[in-house]
Structure 1
């Protein structure tokens, strides 16, 4: 039964990380933060922020389903899979340099998730 949650957790984490990636892309393009109408209007019409918000919404709806169906002690630690997706996105999308120590941390997170669903 617990292996049924893993695909859901992977999808939920991918949606969550995707929302963060879209937000980062949008923030890199927007002007410096200010409380001006110009800045607020640019935020409201930015399509990357809208896509990021949609991904967050989908991740939240899936999260609500997971909370309803699975024990919190299983579901909540699996949210850490979003760190794995975030690290991969940092390399693939933003071309960041990730140290071997950080990759080891990602490996430990993945190992921990496997232990949780076992």
Structure 2
């Protein structure tokens, strides 16, 4: 059950980041970033992050820190996939290898 909760938390974190990225658009200055704080995307991302934080606190209370914390690293790997899929970023093979290594490491940690 704890692994499912970590997976949900990872998805919430990545979703929040995606919403923030969409919400700030191409803000090229600090003023532009500050103005984007009223964007519905940014506000939605903040709400999702708040939910993820509450869920994370529950996960920390129930799970072993040495397991659940490293599993959060899968958010980085999911983020690369989302960057490629949603934002159409070019992802070099070396980065894909890194994604595989992150998932391999997380799998080893989850083996107990």
Q: Give the TM-score of the pair, scaled to structure 2.
A: 0.89
Instruction: Using the TM superposition, give the Cα deviation of residue 30 of structure 1 relative to its aligned residue in structure 2, in angstroms.
Output: 4.6
In structure 2, stretches of 5+ residues that fail to align are none
Corresponding position of 2:7? 10
CA contact (8 A) 2:14 2:79 kept: yes
Instruction: Using the TM superposition, give the Cα deviation of residue 43 of structure 1 relative to its aligned residue in structure 2, in angstroms.
Output: 3.3
For 1:31 and 1:104, the matched residues in 2 are separated by 31
Aligned length, in residue pairs: 111
Which of 95, 98, 104 matches 1:105?
98
* Poorly superposed stretches of 4+, deviation over 3 Å: 29-32
Q: Give the TM-score of the pair, scaled to structure 1.
A: 0.85
**Structure of greater relative contact order (alpha carbons < 8 Å, 6+ residues apart):** 1
Corresponding position of 2:25? 28
CA contact (8 A) 2:19 2:45 kept: yes
Greater shift in the superposed pair: 25-34 or 78-87: 25-34
For 1:70 and 1:7, the matched residues in 2 are separated by 12
Listed one character per residue, the Cα deviations across residues 7-52 of structure 1 (whole Å, up to 9, x for unaligned) are 1111111110111111111111557322xxx975x43431001111
Once superposed, what is the RMSD of the aligned Cα atoms? 1.8
Where do residues 1-118 of structure 1 align in structure 2 (5 Å cutoff)? 4-28=1-25, 30=27, 32-34=29-31, 40=34, 42-118=35-111
